[in-house]
Amino acid sequence: MDTLISASNYLSTTPSIAAPHHAAFKASPTGGSAKRAKPKLAKDLIAPSYAWGLSYLIYAVSLYLGLGTVSFIVATSALTLIIKIPIILTATLLAGFGLSMLAQAGHEGMHGSMIPNKIISAVLGIGASSMVLTYFEVGFAMRHWAHHRFTNRMNDPDIHPSAHLTIWWQRVLFSRPLYNKIYFKNTIVMALGKPFKIDYSMSYSLKTQIAFARFNLIVAFGVFSAYSYVVYLNPLAGLFIIGLPHIAALIITSCQSYVDHAGLDADDLNNAYSRTSLLMTALSFGTNYHLEHHAYPHVPCYRLPRVHKLLLAANAIPNPQHVIVPSFWGAYKAVGKAYKPNQPKEDFNPFIIS
C-alpha cells in the first residue's frame, strides 16, 4: 500500500529543488533579526493521534449539523421573531465554521496529519470535506504541495486564479466559487487518469491519486444525493440545516487565502499569519495557526498551538507584530490586503523535519 513520502526523505524524491531554507532565513523587508533557526520538534508534536484526529471530525460534524439543527428547531418554534433571528444567525455562523472545519479536514487528511495511518488519514479527510458542496479536496491537494514550495512567490498556484479580485467584497463573493471550479476540474482530470504536470505534486503514487479522485467524486455524489433527499422530505430542514450553513461557509472559506497569506512576503516564518484568538482556535481546531503549519507542514493542526508557544519561546519569529494576529475579527482585515507574488520564482523545502 502506498503511503505519504516522509518529510525526511521528501527532498531526495523531488527533482530540481533549490537549496532548502528550512534551517534559517534572512530578515524580511519589514525588519527582524538577520538569521534565526527554527527549533527542532519533539516526536510527540509531530506524530498524529487517533484520539485527536477523530475528535476533530466529530467536533466539526457536530458543529455543522448540530447548530444547523438548532437553527431549524428555533425557526419552526413558537418563539417571537425578535428572539429567533439572533439565535438563527449565531447558529448559522457557527454551523458555517463547522463546514469550514470539514473542508480543512481534507487538507489535514491529505497532509497525512489527521491520524497515524497516512492512507486512512487521506480517506477520512476526503470523506469529511465532501460534506461541503462543490468542494473537491483532491483537486485542491494536486496544487497544494506547490503552494508550500512557492508560498507567496511567482509560482504559488494559490495566488494567480484570484489576482483580478482586488476589492474585499469581490473576494468574499467570488473567490471560493472560482477556486472550487478549479478543484473540481482537477479532480475530474485526475479521476480520468490524465493528471496535468505541476511543479510539485502530491506525495502519493499516481495510482493512489487516481483512486483518491474517484473516491472523492463518488462520496461527493452520495452527499449531494443525501442533501437532496433531506430537501425533498423537508424543504425548511434543508434550508436551515444545509443551505444557510453553506452560505455562511462560502463567505468564511472565501476569506481563507487572505487571512492566511495576504499582505505578507515570501520569507520563511513571515509568509503566513498566526491567528491566535481563543475563539478562532475553538472554531478552527488549530488550523488558524497557519504560520506554524507552513513552518512545519507535517505537524497535525491540533498540535500547532503548542508549536506556536515553542516558536515564541525560541524567539524564532522575526516579525511577530506583523504575522501574529490576536484579534478574532482583526484577522479578517487581511481580506482587503494585497495578495500577489512579491519575490521571484524560488522554492524552499518545508517538508524536511528540522
- Report the C-alpha gap between 105 and 117 in whole angstroms: 15
Q: Which residues pair with 289 in a beta bridge?
A: 274
pLDDT at 11: 29
Phi, psi of 96 (to 5 degrees): -65, -40
Please check the confidence at residue 326 and state whether its pLDDT lies above 60. yes
Please check the confidence at residue 33 and state whether its pLDDT lies above 80. no
C-alpha cell at 151: 508560498
Beta-carbon contacts of 72 under 8 Å, excluding residues fewer than 6 positions away, are 236, 237, 239, 240, 241
C-alpha cell at 69: 439543527
Neighbours of 182 (CB within 10 A): 16
Q: Which of 22-31, 245-254, 259-268 has the least mean pLDDT?
A: 22-31
Q: Which residues pair with 36 in a beta bridge?
A: 25
Q: Is 167 exposed, middle or buried (0-12, 13-18, 19+ CB in 10 A)?
A: exposed
Q: Are 126 and 212 in contact (CB under 8 A)?
A: yes
Please compute the mean of the pLDDT values over residues 19-28 and round it to a whole number: 34
Please compute the mean of the pLDDT values over residues 327-350 and round it to a whole number: 84
Q: Are 117 and 49 in contact (CB under 8 A)?
A: no
pLDDT tens sequence across 51-108: 999 999 999 999 999 999 999 999 999 999 999 999 999 999 999 999 999 999 999 9
Please compute the mean of the pLDDT values over residues 223-229 and round it to a whole number: 98
- Report the C-alpha gap between 291 and 33 in whole angstroms: 17
Q: Are strands 36-37 and 24-25 parallel, antiparallel or unpaired?
A: antiparallel
pLDDT exceeding 70 applies to what percent of the chain? 86
Please compute the mean of the pLDDT values over residues 290-312 and round it to a whole number: 96
Regarding pTM above 0.75, the answer is: yes
Name the residue with higher pLDDT: 349 or 274: 274
pLDDT at 2: 33
pLDDT tens sequence across 247-263: 999 999 999 999 999 99
Q: Are 319 and 40 in contact (CB under 8 A)?
A: no
Q: Whose CA is closest to 137, among 119, 125, 146?
A: 125
pLDDT at 196: 74
- Report the C-alpha gap between 338 and 2 in whole angstroms: 40
Please check the confidence at residue 8 and state whether its pLDDT lies above 70. no
